[in-house]
């Protein structure tokens, strides 16, 4: 985008926000449907807040343990891994190199990885996006701060760090072009689902975000980070899931999608031989009749 277009883009974002805030577009609840071919079943894993470089603990080893647990999880092998931001603790080149040693194309994970950046990836002394090593590297990898890809009949959208008016305008345009019959998944670092997360958004952005969720009924779920604990909530009629962090609770999300629906399982693990797992909660996202119910298992 050239510089003269930036004010126009901002004007579009403001107009888009005004439309959603006044309720234009008709967001009455409508039956969701999941249009997938019989062979379009997939499993992927969601993790977040890998925080390489944090002094909280040995984050390199903590992430290696997490990778071993992902590979040891019973059942089908995941086809991709989504990492929802705060890849590093302070966005330094050394921390990024450690991240790549575990989650890079030639890293220990050995699976396709999709990334978004978080607030900690911008904490270098000079945190301009054009100079920040981590943000710049992820932008080069994704083709920009925001990107989309399709896998197994599902289209995935990366909103990056926080839901700005411009990023939400981009998502609205993308989903409108996609159409209502293609299932969509959104990943972001900060979703405005609790008081801590709302420190990074304005009330206006929060209302626009919620209305955007209500508008596009083909959004199956939003996966986000920032919270450092496993969590499920609903916002704008859409299920939001947080996997936790290797920095805190050792947990990750296993997501299974098939024509019959989507199931999300949060699993804790203990680094033993063999690695043992405990299901924190599991539940089926009700695609056809929102709201969904998450069935929590006994601790």
Instruction: Count up the domains in the chain and report the number.
Output: 1
Does residue 297 lie within any of the structural domains?
no
Task: For residue 3, tell me if it sits in a domain.
Answer: no
Read off the tokens for 140: 């080069």
For 73, other C-beta atoms within 10 Å of its C-beta total 18
CA dist 59 and 47 (Å) reads 14
* CB burial string 133-143: b at 16+ within 10 A, e below: bbbbbbbeebe
**Which CATH number do you get for residue 116?**
3.60.21.10
| Cβ count within 10 A of residue 5 | 10
- 157 part of a folded domain: yes
pLDDT, position 20: 58
Identify the residue whose tokens are 């080069």. 140
Whether 216 is in a domain gets the answer yes
Query: Which pLDDT value is given to residue 283?
Result: 79
Residue closest to 29 by CA, chosen among 293, 295, 288: 288
Three-state SS for 96?
helix
Q: Check if the beta carbon of residue 153 is closer than 8 Å to that of residue 36.
A: yes
Encode the chain (299 residues) as per-residue pLDDT tens digits.
444 456 656 666 666 565 555 554 433 333 445 667 777 889 999 999 999 998 888 999 999 999 999 999 999 999 999 999 999 999 988 999 999 999 999 899 999 999 999 999 988 665 555 567 899 899 999 999 899 999 999 999 999 999 999 999 999 999 999 988 889 999 999 999 887 888 888 999 999 999 999 999 889 999 999 998 899 999 998 999 999 898 876 689 999 998 888 899 998 888 877 888 888 778 777 554 443 333 333 22
Q: Indicate whether 230 belongs to any domain.
A: yes
Give Rg (Cα) of the chain: 19
Q: What pLDDT is stored for residue 288 in this prediction? A: 44
What's the pLDDT at 253? 94
Closest CA to 129 of 113, 107, 145, 105: 145
Report if residue 201 sits inside a domain: yes
Q: What would the two tokens of residue 101 be? A: 């040693």
Q: Which residue has the tokens 């449907």?
A: 33
Helix (H), strand (E), coil (C) string for 128-191: CCCCCHHHHHHHHHHCCCCEEEEECCEEEEECCCCCCHHHHHHHHHHHHHHCCCCCEEEEECCC
Instruction: Based on DSSP, count helices (H) and strands (E) in the chain, helices before strands.
Output: 6, 12
The answer to whether residue 293 sits within a structural domain is: no
Structural domain range at position 72: 21-285
Asked if residue 26 lies in contact with residue 72, where contact means CB atoms within 8 angstroms, the answer is: no
Q: Give domain status of residue 58, yes or no.
A: yes
Return the closest-CA partner of residue 227 out of 249, 253, 254, 203: 249
């Amino acid at each position: 985008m050239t510089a003269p277009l930036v004010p126009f883009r901002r004007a579009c974002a403001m107009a888009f926000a005004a439309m959603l805030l006044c309720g234009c577009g008709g967001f009455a609840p409508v039956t969701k449907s999941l249009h997938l071919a019989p062979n379009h079943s997939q499993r992927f894993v969601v993790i977040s807040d890998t925080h390489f470089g944090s002094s909280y603990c040995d984050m390199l080893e903590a992430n290696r343990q997490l990778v071993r647990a992902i590979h040891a999880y019973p059942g089908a092998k995941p086809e991709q891994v989504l990492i929802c931001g705060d890849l590093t603790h302070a966005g330094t080149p050394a921390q990024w190199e450690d991240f790549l040693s575990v989650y890079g194309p030639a890293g220990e994970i050995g699976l396709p990885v999709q990334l978004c950046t978080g607030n900690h990836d911008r904490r270098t002394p000079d945190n301009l996006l054009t100079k920040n090593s981590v943000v710049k590297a992820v932008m080069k990898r994704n083709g920009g701060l925001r990107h989309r890809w399709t896998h197994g009949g599902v289209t995935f959208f990366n909103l990056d760090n926080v839901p700005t008016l411009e990023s939400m305008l981009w998502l609205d345009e993308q989903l409108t072009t996609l159409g209502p019959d293609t299932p969509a998944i959104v990943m972001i670092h900060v979703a405005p689902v609790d008081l801590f997360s709302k420190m990074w958004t304005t009330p206006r952005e929060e209302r626009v975000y919620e209305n955007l969720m209500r508008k596009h009924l083909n959004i199956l779920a939003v996966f986000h980070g920032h919270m450092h604990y496993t969590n499920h909530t609903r916002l704008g009629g859409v299920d939001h899931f947080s996997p936790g962090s290797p920095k805190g609770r050792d947990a990750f999300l296993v997501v299974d999608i098939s024509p019959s629906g989507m199931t999300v399982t949060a699993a804790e693990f203990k680094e033993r031989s063999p690695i043992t797992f405990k299901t924190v909660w599991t539940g089926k996202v009700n695609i056809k009749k929102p709201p969904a119910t998450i069935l929590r298992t006994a601790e």
